Amino acid sequence: DWTPASVIDEQVARIREQIGDAKVICGLSGGVDSAVAAALVYKAVGDQLTCVFVDHGLLRQDERRQVEEDFVDAIGVRLVTVDAREQFLTALAGITDPEEKRKTIGREFIRSFEQAEVDLIKEAQESGERIRFLVQGTLYPDVVESGGGTGTANIKSHHNVGGLPEDMQFELVEPLRTLFKDEVRAVGRELGVPEPIVARQPFPGPGLGIRIIGEVTQERLDLLREADAIVRQELTAAGLDTEIWQCPVVLLADVRSVGVQGDGRTYGHPIVLRPVSSEDAMTADWTRLPYDLLARISNRITNEVDDVNRVVLDVTSKPPGTIEWE
Ligand code: XMP
C-alpha cells in the first residue's frame, strides 16, 4: 500500500544502508525535489548530511529566506549558502542571447557549487573524514527520459585548492527515483517541508535571468523581482495557485513606451504576464485569468514598480510559443 509514511520508511532504510556512516552533500535549488530529497536523507543519516545553496541573485523574492530559515528550521539540516550574486552579474554583463545566458548561468552555477563542495571536502579531510555521496532529486520521469542509468558524478578540482585528488568521484543518492511529482509533494508534507517549497510551481534553473529580455543587470533584476512578487501575491490571494501551471513574469528591458502618470509623461518598460495551464509543460494553453484579477495586477505593478508603465498579457499557446520568453 502506497502511503507517504511507507515510502519514507522504505527510503530511510535504503539510504542508511547505502550511506553507512559516510558524509554526504546535497545541493538545494529552492524547489521541491531537492528539498524533499534532502529532508529524506537528513531523516536517515542526520548530521552526516550538509546542504549547499547557491544564491545566484536570479532568485525570486523570499526564496533564499525560505531555504535558509524556513527549511532549515523545519528540517534541522546543516546548510552552507554561497553568495554568488556578484559573480553571476559580472559573468552575465553584456550578454543578451538566451542560449549564451543559459550557458553562462549553468557554468557559473557549477563553478560555485563545486567550489563549495571542494571547501566541504577539505574541511572533512581535515577531520579525517571523506564525503563520498551526493544527493540528487531525480524523479521517476527524469529516470525514464534519460534511459534509466544511475551512478556517479565527478567533480574536477580545477580550483587552486591543493591537496585534493585531480578528480573527485561521488556515488549518487537518489531517493526520489521511483516517485512522481505529486508523490514527492505528499512525502515532503509528511516530512514537514514548508508548504511554500512543497507547493512551488515550476521555476527555471536560470531563474529571473531568462525573464529579462535583454542584458541582466542588478537594477532590472530588482524591478522584475518586485513585479513577480506582486503577481504571485495576487494569484495566491485569488486562490489560483493550483489552477495554473506557472506564470512567468517577463521584463522587456530594451523596450520603452510612452505613458502618462501623476504629473505627466512617462517612458517606461512593459511587463508581460504569461499565465499558462499545462499537464507536463510540453504543451500549454494561456490561462483565462479573471479580468478583475488582471486589472488588480496591472494597477499594482504600474503603481508600485518604478519605471514600469505598462502591463501586457501573453495570449499564445505552446506551440507555437514556448512557456518562457527565452
Ligand atoms: P519552455 O519555455 O521550453 O519551458 O516552454 C518548459 C518548462 O521548462 C522550464 N524551463 C527551464 N527549466 N532550465 C530549467 O530548469 C531552463 O533553462 C528552462 N527553460 C525553461 C519552464 O519554466 C517550463 O516549466
* 147 pLDDT higher than 80: no
Ligand 1 atom closest to the CA of 318, numbered from 1: 5
Contact call for residues 303 and 275 (beta carbons, < 8 A): no
Ligand 1 atom closest to the CA of 202, numbered from 1: 24
Q: Is the CB of 191 under 6 A from ligand 1?
A: no
Measured between alpha carbons, how far is residue 176 from residues 65, 137, 230 in Å? 25, 6, 33
Instruction: Report how far ligand 1's centroid is from the alpha carbon of 281 (Å).
Output: 8
Q: Is the CB of 206 under 6 A from ligand 1?
A: yes
As given in the structure block, the three cell numbers for residue 182 are 505529486
The two beta strands, 212-213 and 131-135, are unpaired
103-113 mean pLDDT? 93
pLDDT band, very low/low/confident/very high, at 290 (cuts 50, 70, 90): very high
Q: Is the CB of 122 under 6 A from ligand 1?
A: no
Q: Is 32 annotated as a binding residue?
A: yes
Contacts of residue 63, Cβ cutoff 8 Å, sequence gap at least 6:
30
As given in the structure block, the three cell numbers for residue 60 are 525570486
Instruction: Report how far ligand 1's centroid is from the alpha carbon of 259 (Å).
Output: 32
CB atoms within 10 A of CB 246: 20
3-state secondary structure of 84: coil
Q: Is the CB of 209 under 6 A from ligand 1?
A: no
Residue positions counted in the chain: 326
As given in the structure block, the three cell numbers for residue 183 are 508523490
What's the gap between Cα 158 and its chain centre?
26
The ipTM of this complex is 0.99
Contact call for residues 262 and 302 (beta carbons, < 8 A): no
As given in the structure block, the three cell numbers for residue 184 are 514527492
Domains annotated on the chain, with CATH: 4-197 (3.40.50.620), 201-313 (3.30.300.10)
Q: Is the CB of 278 under 6 A from ligand 1?
A: no
Q: Is the CB of 207 under 6 A from ligand 1?
A: no
**Residue ranges in the chain assigned as alpha helix (H):** 4-19, 32-45, 63-65, 72-75, 85-92, 98-126, 140-145, 181-191, 195-198, 218-237, 291-304
131-158 mean pLDDT? 80
| Cα–Cα distance, 197 to 88 (Å, whole number) | 24
Return the best residue to mutate from 104, 323, 325, 326 for the ligand 1 pocket (most ligand atoms within 8 A of CB): 323
pLDDT digits (tens, 9 = 90+) for 232-262: 999 999 999 989 999 999 999 999 999 999 8
Which pLDDT score is estimated for 127? 86
| Residue nearest (by alpha carbon) to ligand 1 atom 11 | 204
Most confident of the following: 111-120, 133-142, 291-300: 291-300
306-312 mean pLDDT? 98
Q: Is the CB of 314 under 6 A from ligand 1?
A: no
Measured between alpha carbons, how far is residue 177 from residues 3, 17, 32, 56, 197 in Å? 16, 16, 14, 27, 19
Q: Is the pTM of this model over 0.95?
A: no
Return the best residue to mutate from 32, 324, 325 for the ligand 1 pocket (most ligand atoms within 8 A of CB): 324
Mean pLDDT of the chain: 93
Residue closest to 76 by CA, chosen among 191, 232, 203, 237: 191
CA R_g for the chain: 21
Which pLDDT score is estimated for 124? 87
